[in-house]
Amino acid sequence: MSSSIESSLFYYEREGSHEGPVSRDRLVEMVESGEIDGETLVWAEGMPDWKPFSEAQEMGDPSDPMVKCAYSGEVRPESQMLPFGDGWVAPEFKDQFVQQLAEGGVSVEDGVVGEAYVADFTLGTMFSQSWKIWTDQLFQILLITLIIWGPISIAMEFLVYEVFTEDPESLQAVQRSFQLERAAEFWIGVIATGGTMMIAILRWNGGGKVDLPGAFSEGFRNYGRLLGTRFLLNLLVMGGAIVLCVPIIVMADVVSEGLWLFFIPLGILAIWLIVRLGCADGAALIREEGGMPAIKYSWKMTKGRVWKICLFRIAAYSLPLVVVFITGMVLAIPQLDNFWMSGIVSAIGTAVLSFTIVFEAIMALHLRAVYEG
């Protein structure tokens, strides 16, 4: 196998569909475990056509073993990597890797990175991968979430309970609380979101454990990228909302009864648009390119998968939301219904929902693999 071919990850054929990408070593493991055999067709960049894995394997160069980049998790021949301690780094990621180490970023235990995960875009696979990464890095994810959201939640609840209204359960209080939460998430919470998503992305690509300073470093490093993406996304959503409202306004002057029927197709259209654009955060971090390029990439990789994504999100979000609901019931106790307890409960709820942030990052990685494959 030529050096250019070895530097690529492989796609393989199974049950009439193309899956991957995976490393050559992973394909060998799959043959040994019986998941595939030597006649399974595989393809990598640089190969003119799909070939049985046994033939592609014979073209390999055993003197140039495959190694994994400690920054990106990409697998390449050793000759194309730079040695760094007991590990390896791709030349184009050398500066970023050194900067992360200087800032307390990704820790590479004993110079060895973890095994990269395989993409197949099924709920079971994505959920199990998200759960494993979330639990493996639970301490760091919960800390970055609580450090960011703890003070914010208490401050917001203080304003709702003590400043904006005398009745924290009134409609006005709920509206104020929602507005404050959205603003806090846009300007400050994005740090925790970026850090958590990058933990998931780095671990999924085979990177080592990310410590707390490294998580904050990733959050701040991607702050502008995510902020710019969300700003443009909000503009598009508001523009889309205005466009969707036009038919309702027009029909309201024509139809006196049954106007609610028009909300059904418009609601479906709104969900479709939100899903098509809703993977922009993950796209921005995966491609390290925010703004309109990330939004366009979200649009491309979600094509034809909108309703499957909706079902996946409903399934993945259900348990965390139930836990949040049960936790929030503590405020039904009159003695505990104050801004301190409400802020703490809100922060805990956000920490629990950090699983959904990990899931969003993993789903974006799977969508990229399916789209580019």
Per residue in 159-203, pLDDT (tens digit) is 777 776 666 666 676 677 777 878 888 899 999 999 999 999 988
Q: For residues 63 and 197, state if they share a domain.
A: no
pLDDT (0 to 100) of residue 144 = 95
d(CA 180, CA 169): 15
Q: For residues 41 and 143, state if they share a domain.
A: no
Local confidence band at 78 (pLDDT 50, 70, 90 cut-offs): confident
117 in any annotated domain: no
Average pLDDT over residues 282-306: 93
The per-residue pLDDT of the chain, averaged, comes to 80
Number of domains observed in the structure of the chain:
2
In 3D space, the residue among 74, 56, 53 whose CA is nearest the CA of residue 9 turns out to be: 74
d(CA 292, CA 288): 12
191 in any annotated domain: yes
CB-based contact 176:165 (threshold 8 Å): yes
Element (H, E) at 66: strand 66-68
In 3D space, the residue among 13, 80, 84 whose CA is nearest the CA of residue 52 turns out to be: 13
Q: For residues 67 and 199, state if they share a domain.
A: no
Q: For residues 98 and 197, state if they share a domain.
A: no
Domain boundary among 46, 80, 111: 111
Average pLDDT over residues 342-371: 92
Write out the residue range of the structural domain in which residue 48 sits: 3-111
Q: For residues 71 and 188, state if they share a domain.
A: no
116 in any annotated domain: no
pLDDT (0 to 100) of residue 108 = 42
* H helices present in the chain, as ranges: 3-6, 24-33, 53-58, 94-102, 123-136, 138-158, 171-184, 190-204, 212-221, 223-252, 263-277, 280-287, 292-301, 306-328, 339-352, 354-372
> Which residues, 6 or more positions from 286, have their beta carbon under 8 angstroms from its beta carbon?
201, 364, 365, 368
Local confidence band at 298 (pLDDT 50, 70, 90 cut-offs): very high
d(CA 292, CA 280): 9
Q: With the CA atoms of 45, 49, 53 and 55 taken in that order, what torsion angle do they form, in degrees rounded to the nearest 10? A: -110
d(CA 20, CA 11): 5
130 in any annotated domain: yes
Domain boundary among 91, 111, 131: 111
pTM of the model: 0.69
Question: Can you tell me whether residue 279 is helix, strand or coil?
Answer: coil
In 3D space, the residue among 183, 180, 219 whose CA is nearest the CA of residue 199 turns out to be: 219
Q: For residues 284 and 360, state if they share a domain.
A: yes
306 in any annotated domain: yes
In the beta sheet, which residues pair with residue 42?
12, 51
Average pLDDT over residues 18-27: 79
d(CA 158, CA 156): 5
d(CA 234, CA 302): 19
Local confidence band at 107 (pLDDT 50, 70, 90 cut-offs): very low
Give how far Cα 215 sits from Cα of 200, 281, 292, 314, Å.
Answer: 10, 16, 25, 27
118 in any annotated domain: no
Q: For residues 156 and 303, state if they share a domain.
A: yes
Q: With the CA atoms of 131, 298, 16 and 116 taken in that order, what torsion angle do they form, in degrees rounded to the nearest 10? A: -40
d(CA 198, CA 192): 10
Condensed to tens digits (0 to 9), the pLDDT of residues 300-355 reads 999 999 999 999 999 999 999 999 999 888 877 777 778 788 888 888 999 999 99
Q: For residues 101 and 196, state if they share a domain.
A: no
On the question of pLDDT at 229 being above 70, the answer is yes
Q: For residues 275 and 127, state if they share a domain.
A: yes
Q: Give the number of C-alpha atoms closer than 13 A to the C-alpha of residue 164, restricted to the C-beta side.
A: 21
pLDDT (0 to 100) of residue 239 = 80
d(CA 316, CA 350): 15
Q: For residues 56 and 145, state if they share a domain.
A: no
Q: Give the number of C-alpha atoms closer than 13 A to the C-alpha of residue 246, restricted to the C-beta side.
A: 6
> How many residues in the chain?
373
Local confidence band at 241 (pLDDT 50, 70, 90 cut-offs): confident
Q: For residues 107 and 135, state if they share a domain.
A: no
Q: For residues 26 and 153, state if they share a domain.
A: no
pLDDT (0 to 100) of residue 61 = 47
Q: Which of 55-59, 101-105, 222-226, 327-331 has the highest mean pLDDT?
A: 222-226
d(CA 179, CA 195): 23
